[in-house]
Amino acid sequence: MWGFMKEKKYHHLVRNYIEQKTDFHFIKELGVGSYGVAYLLIHSKSGNQYVLKRMKTKHLCKKRLHEKFQQEISMLNEISIPNIPSVYTQGKLQDVPFYIMDFVDGKTFEQAIFKDGETFTLAQSLEITKQLLELVITIHEKGIVHRDLRIPNILINEDGLHIIDFGLAAYLNPNLKVDKINNPKKVENHISDLYFVGHFLLFLLYSNFTPTERKERSWQEELQLPIGVIDYIERLLTLRSPFSNTKEALNSIPTDFLKKT
């Protein structure tokens, strides 16, 4: 209860700070994650929209999370490409760190699939995955692995795909041995991002799937995919020998089923 009241109090502090001390106007709270809270702002002069992300107050005494928060800011500055939000400014409000970044005006694939009911064919799904891998390669070339490439963190608009939320990102560790990996979600190399890309691709494919029986089966059985596509996804998910790097994963997309959308 105390934690809730503390967060609510800080919410009002942020709102007052934005309205009284900056060139922005507060619009609304966008969402709450495990470590932070995001707000939508609009710049009073340019009319451009931005996002303020701040650390949750309950993490104030956790040095490691402070370091992770600052690392997230540093990574966004290091990546510096159009498909990733850029940091506008950063600071602290009553010892709680925050930063303001670009707002990506687009639709997440979570919204597209579960709210709007959009469906994706095999060819469309592979083309979108190809575009995502091209973007992920750029991030990896900066020495960074995202480690949270889920459908809420991948957006699409007229400019293409965008990746947000680098809260779980890490610097690539080149010394990790593939055969020593126990949890592909958390590993600090390309395996993690490819694992999430595999699940992302499955979400796209399942958007076009209608169950014909009540018994739950494996995705390999339910989706009735070509064997080459099954093999490809299984390598992304480390069910088979994983790809040695993201470029190999991109070059290995089953081209027989890949068509421009």
Which amino acid is residue 236, in one-letter code?
L
Residue 47, sorted as left (phi over 0), alpha (psi -120 to 50) or beta, turns out to be: left
Q: Please enumerate in sequence order all residues whose Cβ is within 8 A of that of 8, keeping only pairs 6 or more positions apart, or say none.
A: none
List 51's β-bridge partners, or say none. 40, 101
92 belongs to an annotated ligand binding site: no
**Which two tokens mark 202?**
């499955």
Q: Choose among 149, 154, 152: nearest CA to 185.
A: 149
Residues contacting residue 138 through CB under 8 Å, at least 6 positions apart: 79, 81, 83
CB contact at 8 A, 67 and 57: no
To 10 degrees, what angle do helices 190-206 and 122-141 make?
Answer: 160
Binding residues for ATP, as ranges, are: 53
Binding residues, as ranges, are: 53
